[in-house]
A and B are shown apart, each in its own frame.
Chain A
């Protein structure tokens, strides 16, 4: 039935390729700009995400220059950046604008839009056997809202009072009061508008992903035969749809406080710079933090789950082994999804939260480590007695697991309220989340791009560049973030421009310099990836094999360069799960192959 819907819904994409071309005259605009083809939308998300990653990464290079070399000035910076680097130094105002934008851009526009936007769009229809998303139109709108949000966010960099500079979490009252910080003037309004557009984009996308997975699977593709990528992307969409509206409500109340004179978050405030007591009484600044983290924590899993799904798939294909504990993987992802909604207040242990409530959140937070541990052990067992092909995607998937372990374990420190009192808002936190949801999610994304690039563009990326990129990046990532744990053990606070006046923290000047240098080198290395990507789109080695990785999933049954509609003829029927690798002496058995009566059972 599901495919009937698809067929009737999109008569133009039914039938042979010739018929398709006949019905559907594609212009440049409909094919590359306002495309409704899920594959093109995926590429749009990916490339927009890359542009954002470069901008966001460059911001980190700039503020790392200040952090590593607080006493030096770089006159050439002024030549390049003008008022952003007056006298060759990053001023406090610009430093805080940079870290705020870096966080917002990387978390939302790269690791949410760029990661799940790309792979949910690309993989869901291809792997479940659908011609497109449930609503291609909504899908297109979701990209263009994302793009619109991006433009608004970029435009905030150019307003007179500067972009928002109160940290990516945008806690009021700082974010509500223009008199408390210049970045909280027009920059904050643009930040809110941009985030609102981003949230709309995520909702349109998420609803589409959920309905596509539930309704449009091909014949025989029961839920328990779905590849883990699709499961992961499905749970990601559920998380997003349920939690993003709460953030929207949070920022809408913030707009009211900023412009309508309401007092949701404001109370008892005296602004010294204007020497005035504000009229607001009775609000609670903590309310915003609850609303923010009700999204903010699921957001971590919105970033991580797609990376987990991609890693599971890539590890299994290249280990030539079924993923170990398929059902345990699904159940642990389900557990993570449910628990993700019940742990938000662990970001607020030191806000004066009721200590009993705090203990409940400690319990729930550490519970989430159990499904995470199950996943790690299952990945490890997948490698056990494997026959591993180190494709670039496989290396990145292994890198993902390594970083996920390192960053996940430090989460056990921070989720325990007693330790959080000491470590909260120190560099330990920076190290923790950059490893676990920054770099490791990036490795998931790299793995996905390297693995599905042949399907996206019909060409291969260059392996040698990919190997250099992988090894350089994983070494760089550990060199940057591992030592930061020690700064955290010294109680060194995050978001400081300069530690020179602090007797307690100034001993790390050398280390900060080292970290900055490595960060700059690692950032430069990413251009190898970018160059490899764009060069290979046009000049890469052509794919001649329909199934280059010898994988079981459905996307490899489409033509090398699939058109809109994915399969020229009938959508193939599915007879088995996606992980029959090295079974009964056969290297792999595609999902489309009927079960042989003599086949061994698992």
Chain B
């Protein structure tokens, strides 16, 4: 142990010892002075501290707000339309709960101070009052109804169906990163199967590019049936990337959220949105971005600004580094970006580049289920 450590512990122990001695001494003093007198004295001090705590606390609340407000998202407009509703809801809730907070805290500490022990007075025997009780059952109930009302209107809107013209992007969480997929030219996501995942050969989502039979094994390595996979036409032009999601300003975007291993969560603080990624159960989330990344750099006055995707669900030891990126661009920029993208199939099979997709029977791509279990 270093000397600083020892030194700190010594200081702590010394402070502790002094406090204890003072406490012990004050107990003796109170015995000498008479219990009643010393009780009255300490009672006055504590009552006074109640009011000091209240006043300093209120100043502290204001000061904390001064210091920290600018570091939060509250001072910037939300970057999505849903986020604007959420911000409005937040302000209404802060206002209502804020009023209650100040009234009740002030009453609590003020009463404590005002009704401190006084030998000349006795307490007021006041066991109940039905009118008052009805009052403070109904007023909170009504204000909560207001909050529930607003909340549910927005909630229904946010969780409702995405508009038809939405840009669809699939986002898949894995330990510890994100995989993004665009449906490509046909605007249809190709089918995938998790046993087909082959990272070494550029198939990190398990897209079904060729007809095959996968022999299942149970956890002890014994055979457990097999699955017949039929290549899915729609998967050949799917674009898979780990760089960023590109979205278009003012065009609704629908995220289809998956996980490859454990539960993750797509957290989008600037859009005020969030949705878990659950293995085996796809979820969705839609919103309309309002500002491009470039515009947000100006709004936030931060040249390094990015729409970061933060994993919000504990997913293992790398959880804190599971960062994704959304780039919101204009429609023109999006077309340019899209033109540069190479489908995952082509990337994984550079040799068959000329053939593009070695189409098996074209009808297959429309088959309802490409995965048939045996």
How many residues on chain A are close to B (CB under 8 Å)? 140
B194, A269: Cβ atoms closer than 8 Å:
yes
* B299 located at the interface, meaning its Cβ lies under 8 Å from any Cβ of chain A in the complex: no
* A419 located at the interface, meaning its Cβ lies under 8 Å from any Cβ of chain B in the complex: yes
Binary flags per residue of B40-67, CB closer than 8 Å to A gives 1, else 0: 0011001101100100010011001000
B64, A326: Cβ atoms closer than 8 Å:
no
B133, A328: Cβ atoms closer than 8 Å:
yes
Q: Which residues of A contact B267 (CB under 8 A)?
A: 425, 491, 493
* A483 located at the interface, meaning its Cβ lies under 8 Å from any Cβ of chain B in the complex: yes
* B20 located at the interface, meaning its Cβ lies under 8 Å from any Cβ of chain A in the complex: yes
Binary flags per residue of A376-396, CB closer than 8 Å to B gives 1, else 0: 111111011111111000010
CA distance A79 to B9 in the complex (A): 15
B132, A418: Cβ atoms closer than 8 Å:
no
A268, B280: Cβ atoms closer than 8 Å:
yes
* A76 located at the interface, meaning its Cβ lies under 8 Å from any Cβ of chain B in the complex: yes
Binary flags per residue of A559-602, CB closer than 8 Å to B gives 1, else 0: 00000000000000000000101111101000000000000001
Stretch at the interface among B231-239, B245-253, B315-323, B343-351: B315-323
**A268-B194, A419-B151 known; A402 and B126 CB under 8 Å?**
no
CA distance A320 to B122 in the complex (A): 8
A328, B144: Cβ atoms closer than 8 Å:
no
* B327 located at the interface, meaning its Cβ lies under 8 Å from any Cβ of chain A in the complex: no
Q: Which residues of A contact B316 (CB under 8 A)?
A: 96, 166, 174, 180-181
CA distance A495 to B315 in the complex (A): 10
Contact residues, B80-114 vs A (CB, 8 A): 83, 85-86, 89-90, 93, 96-97, 100-101, 104-105, 107-109, 111-112
CA distance A98 to B304 in the complex (A): 33
CA distance A462 to B31 in the complex (A): 12
Nearest to B280 among chain A residues (CB) is A267
Contact residues, B125-181 vs A (CB, 8 A): 125-129, 132-133, 136-137, 140-141, 144, 147-148, 150-152, 154-156, 158-160, 174-175
A386, B115: Cβ atoms closer than 8 Å:
yes
Partner of B23, one of A468, A502, A507, A583: A468
Partner of B148, one of A286, A358, A366, A587: A366
* A9 located at the interface, meaning its Cβ lies under 8 Å from any Cβ of chain B in the complex: no
Q: Which residues of A contact B140 (CB under 8 A)?
A: 369-370, 373-374
Min Cβ gap A214→B in Å is 26
Nearest to A587 among chain B residues (CB) is B122
B71, A279: Cβ atoms closer than 8 Å:
no
Contact residues, B310-350 vs A (CB, 8 A): 310-321, 323
Q: Which residues of A contact B280 (CB under 8 A)?
A: 266-269, 281-285
* A409 located at the interface, meaning its Cβ lies under 8 Å from any Cβ of chain B in the complex: yes
* B294 located at the interface, meaning its Cβ lies under 8 Å from any Cβ of chain A in the complex: no
CA distance A181 to B317 in the complex (A): 7
A171, B101: Cβ atoms closer than 8 Å:
no
CA distance A93 to B1 in the complex (A): 24
CA distance A501 to B304 in the complex (A): 12
B16, A528: Cβ atoms closer than 8 Å:
yes
A416, B151: Cβ atoms closer than 8 Å:
yes
Min Cβ gap A600→B in Å is 8
* B364 located at the interface, meaning its Cβ lies under 8 Å from any Cβ of chain A in the complex: no
A496, B263: Cβ atoms closer than 8 Å:
no
* A12 located at the interface, meaning its Cβ lies under 8 Å from any Cβ of chain B in the complex: no
Binary flags per residue of A477-509, CB closer than 8 Å to B gives 1, else 0: 010001100110111110111110111110110
A465, B124: Cβ atoms closer than 8 Å:
no
Min Cβ gap B110→A in Å is 9
* A412 located at the interface, meaning its Cβ lies under 8 Å from any Cβ of chain B in the complex: yes
B317, A92: Cβ atoms closer than 8 Å:
yes
Partner of A387, one of B19, B93, B118: B118
B320, A474: Cβ atoms closer than 8 Å:
no
Partner of A322, one of B115, B126, B274, B305: B126
* B22 located at the interface, meaning its Cβ lies under 8 Å from any Cβ of chain A in the complex: yes
Min Cβ gap B60→A in Å is 7
Nearest to B227 among chain A residues (CB) is A281
**A319-B123, A463-B42 known; A409 and B281 CB under 8 Å?**
no
Contact residues, B176-224 vs A (CB, 8 A): 194-195, 197, 199, 206, 216-220, 224
Q: Which residues of B contact A493 (CB under 8 A)?
A: 267, 310-312
Stretch at the interface among A55-63, A129-137, A270-278: A270-278
Partner of B115, one of A93, A278, A319: A319
Q: Which A-B residue pairs are the 7 nearest by beta carbons?
A: A491-B269, A267-B280, A352-B283, A355-B159, A385-B124, A390-B46, A496-B320
User: Would you list 5 pairs from A and B whose C-beta atoms are within 8 A, ordered by A residue?
Assistant: A321-B126, A425-B274, A464-B26, A531-B16, A582-B123
Residues of A that sit less than 8 Å from B by CB: 75-76, 79-80, 92-93, 96, 165-167, 171-174, 177, 180-182, 261, 266-273, 275, 277-279, 281-286, 319-328, 350-352, 355, 358-359, 362-363, 366-367, 369-370, 373-374, 376-381, 383-390, 395, 398, 401-402, 405-406, 409-410, 412-413, 416-419, 421-422, 424-426, 462-465, 467-468, 471, 474-475, 478, 482-483, 486-487, 489-493, 495-499, 501-505, 507-508, 511, 524, 527-528, 531-532, 541, 579, 581-585, 587, 602
15 new A-B contacts, CB < 8 A, other than A177-B262, A373-B136, A462-B23, are A269-B262, A285-B281, A350-B276, A358-B155, A378-B133, A388-B115, A390-B116, A409-B101, A418-B155, A421-B272, A422-B86, A493-B312, A496-B319, A541-B27, A541-B31
